[in-house]
Amino acid sequence: MPMKSTTKSKIRTFDLRGADDLAPTALIRRDHETALRDLKSDSFFQPVKDHYGPYEVILSVEENRLVFRIINDAGQELPMLVLSVKPYQRLIKDYFLIVHSYDEAVREGKPSRIEAIDMGRRGLHNEGAELLMERLSDKILLDLNTARRLFSLICVLHSGKALMWR
């Protein structure tokens, strides 16, 4: 069943805590900026037990866990959601390998390689989005595009840690 976004099932503001001190590549910076812009303009985000959106969402990583803080339109803080990062580690590592490959292909000026890498990146985003939707299904309903954007931002938050996981 397709999810229809209304003003009550949207993200009004999104804050990514802990991404200020990162020095991402151009692709990561672009993913970050695009995801934030797109989340604010077009998202389907509906906490299962609350229908008082649009929502303010704050995403951070604390003690190796993803932490979602959500505030509804009435100013009420919803119960904090905490997810283990472990199921995402492989996908996040792969994301940064793809970013590295993409940067190399751009430097080498190989359009066909850039296109192939970009297709792989889209597939990886879909896999990350589906995992996020599955893990949040009993807490927050998301459409695929919203989940893809959130997955991008989860990767941005881990740009310093991904190297340690290798």
Structural domain includes residue 85: yes
| Three-class DSSP category at 165 | helix
Structural domain includes residue 1: no
Q: Which domain holds residue 31?
A: 7-159
Whether the predicted pLDDT of 148 surpasses 90: yes
pLDDT at 64: 86
Residue 60 burial by Cβ neighbours in a 10 Å radius (0-12, 13-18, 19+): middle
Q: With bands split at pLDDT 50, 70 and 90, how would you rate the model's confidence at 19?
A: low
Structural domain includes residue 164: no
**Per residue, what are the HEC states of 97-163?**
HHHHHHHHHHHHCCHHHHHHHHHHHHHHHHHHHHHHHHHHCCCEEECHHHHHHHHHHHHHHCCCCHH
Q: Which residues contact 7 (CB under 8 A, 6 or more apart)?
A: 53, 54
Q: Determine if the pTM surpasses 0.85.
A: yes
Q: Which residues contact 150 (CB under 8 A, 6 or more apart)?
A: 35, 39, 59, 129, 132, 142
pLDDT at 90: 94
Domain count, the chain: 1
pLDDT at 127: 97
Mean pLDDT for the chain?
88
Whether the predicted pLDDT of 27 surpasses 50: yes
* Identity of the amino acid at 92: I
pLDDT at 5: 58
pLDDT in tens, 51-104: 999 999 999 999 889 999 999 999 999 999 999 999 999 999 999 899 889 889
Structural domain includes residue 97: yes
pLDDT at 30: 82
Structural domain includes residue 39: yes
Structural domain includes residue 166: no
Structural domain includes residue 165: no
